[in-house]
Amino acid sequence: MIIIGLSNSRNLAKKVAQKLKVKYSRLDSQFFPDGEVYLRFKDSVRGKKVVLIQSMQPKTNDALIEMLFASATAKDLGAKKVILVAPYLNYMRQDKRFKPGECISNEIVAKFIDDYVDQVMVVDPHLHRDKSLSVFFKIKSTKLTANPLIAKYIKKNIKNPLLIGPDWESYKWARATAEMIGAESVILKKKRYSGRRVKVYFGEKIDVKGKNAVLVDDMISTGGTLLRTIEHLKKLGLKKFTAIAVHGVFSEGALQKLQKVGTKVITVNTIENPTAKLDISPIIAEALKQKGL
């Protein structure tokens, strides 16, 4: 087996290779001035199982094309099997036709991956209406979660935590991690009006006395969801917050906006950025081992 990190996940891929004690190979990947991608494998992949690790953020569309070109090329060069590890998989939230004429993006991305890859592993995919990756992937798919890392961080660093999930589906992260460490949790309700505008509600009365608020979600994009949640929590007298998300997408200055309202932000290195203090590489390495890859 050889492990190859694409543009967005080279550091992570090297860590996975080290943990598994398998060869890490470099892929020469460059973008031409007009935006087209150029790829060249540096080692032979003929007859080998090739693990490509690529987060689909930042530069989400470039990242997807780079990965598809890399897997198609690996096959063309005689790879026995191509396994994609997508620490962050994009387009998962557009999973139905909300308005007539819309593209169902997650199905199209899955179809591209089905066509070029033999097996896929995704860390904390945003599965909303679909319960499992197998609903839209035909190839073998595995869902991994960073929840144990989040639980361990909170247990070690935060006294009397109250875990707050900002919308009903965040229970998969907020409630699940709270249960792992025996902490309290509360799940709020959210109404989304657009990609940027959301309204967050408390469905129940919450007691924050003596508690440290820890907001837990799968991803932070514009930060709108967490900022609205923090506005409510401030009304209850809380001043400082920790926000922990798996995927730190941070569009439109989201990180700075959160820090400005007194939030310490921690994410996982499914997307490489300065807040990515939690390392998913042991979980990916273990999954590859367990699957006999």
> Which position among 49, 190, 240, 291 bears the catalytic label?
190
Here's the x/- map for ligand R5P, 145-184, by CB under 6 A: it reads as ---------------------xx-xx--------------
Nearest residue (CB) to ligand R5P, 5 versus 166: 166
Minimal distance in Å, beta carbon 223 to ligand R5P? 5
How far apart are CB 197 and ligand R5P at their closest, in Å? 9
Choices 59-67, 76-84, 213-221, 279-287 (CB under 6 A): range interacting with ligand R5P: 213-221
Residue choice 5, 87, 161, 223 for contact with ligand R5P (CB under 6 A): 223
Residue span 107-146 as binding mask against ligand R5P, x where in contact by CB under 6 A, dash where not: ----------------------------------------
* 190 a catalytic residue: yes
Structure tokens of 144? 């991994």
Q: Are 167 and 189 in contact (CB under 8 A)?
A: yes
Q: Nearest-CA neighbor of 192 among 213, 210, 175, 167?
A: 167
Phi then psi dihedrals of residue 10, to 5 deg: -65, -45
The answer to whether the bond into 58 is cis (omega within 30° of 0) is yes
Q: Which of 3, 13, 218, 255 binds ligand R5P (CB under 6 A)?
A: 218
Binding residues for ligand R5P, rule: CB under 6 A, are 166-167, 169-170, 198, 217-225
Task: Just list the catalytic residues.
Answer: 190
